[in-house]
Amino acid sequence: MSGYVAPGYEGVRDAFTDQACGGSALCVLRDGVVVVDLHEGWRDGARTQAWDERTLVDVYSVGKPVIALAALLLVERGLVGLDDPVARHWPEFRTAASVRQVLTHTAGLPTFPVPRDASAWSDWELLCGDLAAARPEWPPGTVAAEHALTYGHLLGELVRRVTGRDPGAFVAEEIAGPWRLDLGFGLNGGDQERCAELEFHGTDWPDRTGEPGSVHERAVANPAGARDLTVVNSAAWRTAVVPAVNLHTTAEAVARFYAGLLAGGELDGHRLLSPALVEEMTTAQFTGLDLFIGRETTWGLGVQLESDGTWGMGGLGGNAGWADPARGHAIAYVTRRLGDFERVDALDTAISSVRLLS
């Protein structure tokens, strides 16, 4: 294990040590200042390449708030309205859903409608065309179901239609650049060399796809490959832009992302959102049973809100990024060992137990 822990956060270091899994990192900022920055293990399955501060890892749905922020930049700039029909900006789009409903996972399009193999992940226009022609599974705005794989194409194509720019490039230029975040969709060759190799933490984990025919099972199955190690560790996957599930990033970058939101949309002197729009982003927009998650969930505009006042987003395999406004904490845990959220829960308990001194 390597890294830094500020005085008072020693218990967090101990918890991170207890949760070591052979490749992970934890970063915590308090009021924008790093108080925990730890990493352990290796970035490859053969355990020959040590995990370091530049290691990138696919964090799955932890990337959803990043593409949500990209769409909200369009709102901030007056180019899109939250209650605009998506079709106003994407004329081929048949579903009568608003931008707000897409952001809150209530657009009724939790699955790609046409069976596709893994090669489809590299064909942006094909998958967006499938979504444009799709019929919603229920009237938009009435039911929540996390748009597990479709979310990034829905919002990313909105960004592309309005700005004329690839959503991966837009995120790089308009979010990652100004906020100095080491993250991205669609990596170049040099960045691919920094990527961690994903593994399953348990032998039964790949089979946990939900009940046959359920929203959960259907949402993660198509296109093929999003849970297949031969796909997600491939150059094709890392090069593709799949904003719902293939953000490659460091723990520090995710924590800094949340620090910027906690600071009212500004980081390092670069304002991306107004405090008012950050407040709307992190205010409840829909509360109810989420058919993908399988429990009552409160959605903001791209983030999930918890009853304890924290908000953020978890990712498949036990990755997570979140903000704790009451304590000023911006937190990220990333791992290459895909498992459950027990590790995140243990770290959250340790971080929440820190006695903060004024």
Model pLDDT, residue 201: 83
**Contact yes or no for 183/143 (Cβ under 8 A):** no
Q: Is 129 domain-assigned?
A: yes
Model pLDDT, residue 323: 98
- Indicate the pTM of the whole model: 0.97
The average pLDDT across 257-272 equals 97
The average pLDDT across 127-138 equals 98
pLDDT tens readout for residues 48-90? 999 999 999 999 999 999 999 999 999 999 999 999 999 999 9
Model pLDDT, residue 352: 95
Model pLDDT, residue 213: 81
The average pLDDT across 337-354 equals 94
Instruction: List, in order, residues 6 or more apart from 341 with CB less than 8 Å away.
Output: 314, 318, 320
Q: Is 207 domain-assigned?
A: yes
What's CA 12's distance to the chain center, in Å?
Answer: 23
**Beta bridge mates, 267:** 270
Least confident of 91-100, 197-206, 274-283: 197-206
In the chain, % of residues over pLDDT 70: 97
Task: Quote the mean pLDDT of the chain.
Answer: 96
pLDDT tens readout for residues 205-237? 666 666 788 899 999 999 999 999 999 999 999
Q: Is 155 domain-assigned?
A: yes
Q: Is 357 domain-assigned?
A: no
Model pLDDT, residue 204: 65
Domain with 10, as residue range(s), is: 2-44+54-352
pLDDT at 313 over 70: yes
The average pLDDT across 105-121 equals 98
Instruction: Please tell me the total count of domains within the chain.
Output: 1
**Beta bridge mates, 313:** 321
Strand 199-200 to 337-338 pairing = parallel
The average pLDDT across 7-13 equals 96
Model pLDDT, residue 203: 64
Q: Is 358 domain-assigned?
A: no
- Map the chain to HEC letters: CEEEECCCCHHHHHHHHHCCCCEEEEEEEECCEEEEEEEEEECCCCCCCECCCCCEEECEHHHHHHHHHHHHHHHHCCCCCCCCEHHHCCCCCCCCCEHHHHHCCCCCCCCCCCCCCHHHHHCHHHHHHHHHHCCCCCCCCCCECCCCCCHHHHHHHHHHHHHCCCHHHHHHHHHHHHHCCCEECCCCHHHHCCECCCEECCCCHHHCCCCCCCHHHHHHHCCCCCCCHHHHCCHHHHHCCCCCCECEECHHHHHHHHHHHHCCCEECCEECCCHHHHHHHCCCCEEEEECCCCEEEEECCCCEECCCCCEEEEECCCEEEEEECCCCEEEEEEECEECCCHHHHHHHHHHHCCCCCC
Q: Is 115 domain-assigned?
A: yes
pLDDT tens readout for residues 234-248? 999 999 999 999 999
The confidence band for 189, taking pLDDT boundaries of 50, 70 and 90, is confident
Model pLDDT, residue 42: 97
Write the CATH number for 327: 3.40.710.10
Q: Is 323 domain-assigned?
A: yes
Q: Is 49 domain-assigned?
A: no
- The tokens describing 5, both together, are 């822990």
Higher-scoring residue by pLDDT: 251, 208? 251
